[in-house]
Amino acid sequence: MEIRSLEDLRAADNLSLAFNPYGLGSRMRPEDAVEFQQRQIADCDLVEGVAAGTRDSFERLRTVFAYGVLCYDVYTMVGDQALLVFEQALRDRFMEWCGGSITFRFPQDPEVTVAVASYDEVKKLADRMARRRAKLVVATNGIEFNGTLYGLRRWARTAGLLRGRRSRSVEEALAKLRNYVAHPSGHHVDTPVEAARTVRDLAELINQLWGRATPGGRLYPAPLHREIAVLSWNGLGRARMEPAGALFVPDPPEEQDGEYQHIVVRAIPFIPNSRWNDDHWAEFDTRYETTRFPTDYLWGPGTREEARTWLEGERPEGDSVDFTDRVFLIQNHGRLLPPMRPAVAAGLPDGERAGVWHAVRADFPDDAFAHVRGSGDASAGHVRRRGDCSVCSAEVLGFGSFDEALRAAAAALGPIQAVQLPSVRLPLSIFWPNRP
């Protein structure tokens, strides 16, 4: 081992200095690099109530991360340790959830409740119970649980502490990386970008376990704000979205001939450079879920003056909506049709309920559609039975006739109130061109 002087240990690592706000390039000054790297995770604060052990481990990561400017290998150490804190957070949250006792359900025998004082006791008990084919009782469900990371993830999902279909795939990837770190078989090096992302993902996961979504988050985003907006189009293929307030200024010249049609909706506004912009807003259809985020029809179509009159009379307001874990119904009758909201499907006349229907839980309608389309090819690996798909971000709730699929959706959502909306859509479509 080379013995280095204190001066050498204080010197910035040139490799760390190569990372700047624009990517890799000219090296930053050490004092600027220290501030820049710390800012990458400065807003990753944990909510109140997080278990002390998890909080201490996380804050230790944030403290050490800054020293990566002096030693590039620190970023790899932080990234690896963050993956281990992933399991610690699940263990700590499990102990809070169980409140000192856990219940197992046996195939034939009555349920058994056992007191536990630490997670080591939980792990030993879970090993014994797994050999007897007993299942951990979570609410009214019984799940396989052996105390490992896999069992903890399954428990957290069943208990409703973790949400989102796409985040489930990230959790699986984090679990695999954690196992690689815990049982290494090779060498790897993390960049500051990768280490910071792992720390940010860990912060989101911890906060979600303790009941708070992350505003603008990548894995567990907080509900998105929806505003009242107007969608307009004409016969020449031009379409636009504008806030409702834009209708109360002088009409634009292109609308003075009255060619444009307008509808009023409640939708996610378009915000430049936002992660959660709805790129599919121009696909809006009252029957099908063709926008990326939930968009609610309110009025129309009609002229600009009629839209103004309706807005002045009704004065609708915006709201917030959680787009994760939505339930869609997809009809296959001669061809695969776009996803529908269960409430809209429930309002269909009897003559439009033919074919095979699929009830799918997904974050986005195109995720649900892609799963159903892919499940038609046995070699693609998509699951066809109830449960999470192993190759995409979807969960199969049921399939079969219209009634069977609607019952599967109701089992997940509760009673479904049928709605009947006027048939309105923007006429041109890029992402969903094959609509009846």
**Chain Cα centroid distance, residue 22:** 27
- Residue 140's pLDDT band, with cuts at 50, 70 and 90, is confident
Q: Which of 1-10, 11-20, 229-238, 325-334 has the lowest mean pLDDT?
A: 1-10
Q: Give the position of tokens 């069943």.
A: 158
Interaxial angle between packed helices 119-131 and 73-98, expressed in degrees from 0 to 180 and rounded to the nearest 10: 70
Q: Is 80 exceeded by the pLDDT of residue 253? A: no
Q: Is 90 exceeded by the pLDDT of residue 232? A: yes
Domain end call among 188, 206, 222:
222
pLDDT of residue 352: 94
Give domain status of residue 420, yes or no.
no
Domain end call among 272, 289, 321:
321
The verdict on 64 and 97 lying in the same domain is: yes
* 430 or 197, higher pLDDT: 197
The verdict on 65 and 109 lying in the same domain is: yes
At 173-185, the pLDDT tens digits run 999 999 999 888 8
Amino acid at 50: V
The verdict on 231 and 243 lying in the same domain is: yes
pTM of the predicted protein model: 0.90
Amino acid at 283: E
pLDDT of residue 348: 96
Give domain status of residue 60, yes or no.
yes
pLDDT of residue 251: 66
Residue 135's beta-bridge partner residues? 105
- Nearest alpha carbon to residue 266 among 217, 222, 221, 314: 314
Q: Is 80 exceeded by the pLDDT of residue 165? A: yes
The verdict on 353 and 286 lying in the same domain is: no
Number of domains in the chain: 3
- Residue 254's pLDDT band, with cuts at 50, 70 and 90, is low
Class of residue 166 by CB neighbours under 10 A (exposed 0-12, middle 13-18, buried 19+): middle
Give domain status of residue 31, yes or no.
yes
At 302-325, the pLDDT tens digits run 999 999 999 999 999 999 999 999
Average pLDDT over residues 370-380: 89
E-assigned strands of 196-238? 224-233
Give domain status of residue 289, yes or no.
yes
Q: Is 90 exceeded by the pLDDT of residue 101? A: yes
Q: Is 60 exceeded by the pLDDT of residue 227? A: yes
Residue numbers of the domain that contains 248: 224-321
pLDDT of residue 12: 87
The verdict on 266 and 373 lying in the same domain is: no
* Structure token pair of residue 197: 């992302």
